[in-house]
Amino acid sequence: MQEESALKRGAKNVAKKQAKKLGKKALKKYGKVAAKAAAKAGLAALKALITFLIGLSGPVILTIIGVVLLIIIILVATSLLFSWGDDSVLEPDAYELRNYIVEATDNSIDMSKPEQRPYKVPPELVIAAMQIYEANSKSDASTEEAVDLFVDALKPTFNYEKKKGMIESIQTTCKEGKCTSVEKETSFELNLFKSVQAWDRTMQIDNTPHFNEWKETVLHRTDYKKMPTYDDEGEVIPGVYWWKPIPYTITTKVRSETFVSNPISNQDYSYFDTVLRGDPFNYGEQDIQMVEAIYMATGGDIRYSEWANGNSFIGFDGTIVAGGNIPTEFMEVYLAAEKAYKVEWYYLAAFHYVETNFSTHPTMISSVGAQGHMQFMPCTWVGWNYPGCGGNGSLAIPEKDFHNPLIIQKYGGYGIDADKNGKASPWDIKDAIFASARYMNDIGWQSGKDAAIFNYNRSQAYVDKIHKYAEKFRSEAIYKPGDGAIPALAPGSFMRPSIGKNTSGYGPRTLGGRDFHYGIDIASNIAPPVVAIADGVVTRARTGCSPNGYLGSSCGGGWGNHLWVKFTVGGRSYEAVYAHLSKIAVSEGQRVIQGQMLGNMGNSGSSTGMHLHFELHSPARISNSNVLNPTMYIPMQ
């Protein structure tokens, strides 16, 4: 996990304590004036609130600086406008609006279904969005209409699937040396939770059929058979009988076919981003970040900026050739687990290497009882709610429970039957790696890698080691796009850096030459790969910019996510610039070969549409003193 931002630290460590203190004490005394301003519009009241807070003076204000001050001001406005219990400072219309928002969010799901409640749009998020709307909107829509639009657009979409389970029974009756069996199957229907698209994530559930073990009951019964009575001479005595006991057994075996649910969550703010950028909100990047800041300040969990600045190649459509010492037979499993649980393959490889040296540890059992390819404690595998689990989780669990997916589901474990053989085992490589990916996904991998890694081993040194090897495996791998995704190779020369349409050439671009374009632009609407034009070394790699750039953005110096790569062709040195990328697949200092994927075309930085800005310099880029016209050196088609 990246170091906690100043924004979040401010929200957590100062805003909650100091702003609530101000709200309940100082603002209770002076708050009517500020409340009136806040009731009209949160951001429009900022100046009034700043003046108000400064008027309070004292050490509290002196400790609030920069972004933290802004967060506290917004939090105070939000707290006043939509009270968390103190009605004394509320205007009636503010109180009614908050109730309207709460009712709207409750109605966006089926509150009678517990599985839907975690995905409801939080009222505080709507409140945060409405503050920006009240301050900036030029729309004719009322606040209530905007609330309805916001909640309706962001309400979760749930999918269920009907599955048929079955109860299978076999009843065997054995009497006087002969056995007869009757088999019976009774089906039943289940309506299973399948997936959800929520405002901040998508979640898929793999509902895998699984048979319980047979449960056997044996009943001992006795029948009586009417038997004749014989005299001493062996003759039947008429009318005299006796009843012979005939013992028999009825053995009944029953098992049921039900489903094991494996949830897979993925951080996704696509709906959130699309809704706030459209009518009637028309929010820009900074507006959305302000909504994020307000919601975070009120205690909400939101990772929009991290999502927008993501650089993940999960689900890459091509071939990844592992470098270094990664055994090739494991790559298929890493990639499948990455696709399923959105945990990067190179981190799974790093866990595998650090834990058991790619499954070459002599016993694959640790001194504390962790076992298998990825070193799971038994209670983590089967679930800490399993009877007897505690301490470090090294309980001796019977194999019939330890490998049973239904038992694991019942007790909340992370074991998984990834190879669908009916048995979840940490000694099965696919089960183990999928379970590690599932565990990381569940404990917040996408919210922060450091915390998730720390929970795996409870050591900061371990966190550092995993990061070290993950970066090594990532940088040594080669991403090869699929056929047709890149231009033709040109051994011994330069190849074209990407497919697409040439949209802007080298040279003056406005009348009188006031704007000189020091490169060429290649545009596309499919975010194609950009590649190394020859064998070379990455000399600069900058990422972290939102893929949604805008004209005038200073992120990455205006270039957004960008790379510099040095090449030597025909005995001459060159340095190329690749700018406005959406993602970067290489690291600074990494050697690359011609045609190797460097990243994807994008729209980051100061940009008005998806394109690659490409420059060529010789022998190296020193401002624009050594710039060349790329069209003189690389193919344009």
Residue 293, pLDDT above cutoff 60? yes
Which residues have CB under 8 Å from 584's CB, separation 6+? Answer: 311, 541, 543, 561, 563, 598, 599
pLDDT-based confidence at residue 265 (cuts at 50, 70, 90): confident
Residue 302: per-residue pLDDT? 85
Residue 314: per-residue pLDDT? 84
Is residue 235 within 8 Å of 198, Cβ to Cβ? no
Q: What is the pLDDT of residues 333-358, one digit of tens each?
A: 999 999 889 899 999 999 999 999 99
Tokens of 35: 């409340």
Is residue 611 within 8 Å of 603, Cβ to Cβ? yes
What is the β-pairing status of strands 536-542 and 561-569?
antiparallel
Is 27 in a helix, a strand, or coil? Answer: helix
Residue 82: per-residue pLDDT? 55
CA distance 453 to 448: 9
Residue 280, preceding bond cis, omega within 30 degrees?
Answer: yes
pLDDT-based confidence at residue 4 (cuts at 50, 70, 90): very low
Residue 5, pLDDT above cutoff 90? no
Q: Which neighbouring-strand residues pair with 250? A: 173, 219
Tokens of 412: 């909340």
Higher local confidence (pLDDT), 292 or 521: 521
Residue 189, pLDDT above cutoff 90? yes
Residue 47: per-residue pLDDT? 39
- Which domains does the chain show, CATH number per domain? 1-156+270-304 (no CATH), 158-197+201-267 (no CATH), 318-476 (1.10.530.10), 481-632 (2.70.70.10)
CA distance 538 to 520: 20
Quote helix, strand, coil % in the chain, to nearest 5: 40, 25, 35
Residue 20: per-residue pLDDT? 41
pLDDT-based confidence at residue 73 (cuts at 50, 70, 90): low
Give residue 482's identity as a one-letter amino acid code.
G
Q: Where are the alpha helices (DSSP H) in 211-341?
A: 270-277, 285-297, 304-308, 328-341
Q: Which neighbouring-strand residues pair with 599? A: 530, 584
Higher local confidence (pLDDT), 4 or 517: 517
Residue 325: per-residue pLDDT? 87
pLDDT-based confidence at residue 514 (cuts at 50, 70, 90): low
Residue 79, pLDDT above cutoff 90? no
Q: What is the pLDDT of residues 407-458, one digit of tens each?
A: 999 999 999 999 989 899 999 999 999 999 999 988 888 777 898 999 888 8
For the chain, what is the mean pLDDT? 83
Higher local confidence (pLDDT), 535 or 9: 535
CA distance 507 to 510: 10
Is residue 374 within 8 Å of 340, Cβ to Cβ? no
Q: Which neighbouring-strand residues pair with 183? A: 170
Tokens of 552: 């005038």
The answer, as to whether pTM is greater than 0.85, is no
Angle at 261 between CA 260 and CA 262, to 5 degrees: 120
Please enumerate, as own/partner, the contacts of 30-37 that have beta carbons within 8 Å and a separation of 24 or more.
30/56, 31/80, 31/89, 32/89, 34/76, 34/77, 34/80, 35/80, 35/81, 35/89, 35/90, 35/91, 35/94, 36/91
Give residue 134's identity as a one-letter amino acid code.
E
Q: What is the DSSP string of 484-495?
A: TSS----TTSPP
CA distance 54 to 30: 13
Residue 16, pLDDT above cutoff 80? no
Is residue 296 within 8 Å of 7, Cβ to Cβ? yes
Nearest to 7 by CA among 78, 80, 66, 83: 66
CA dihedral 323, 327, 329, 330 (to 10 degrees): -80
pLDDT-based confidence at residue 142 (cuts at 50, 70, 90): confident
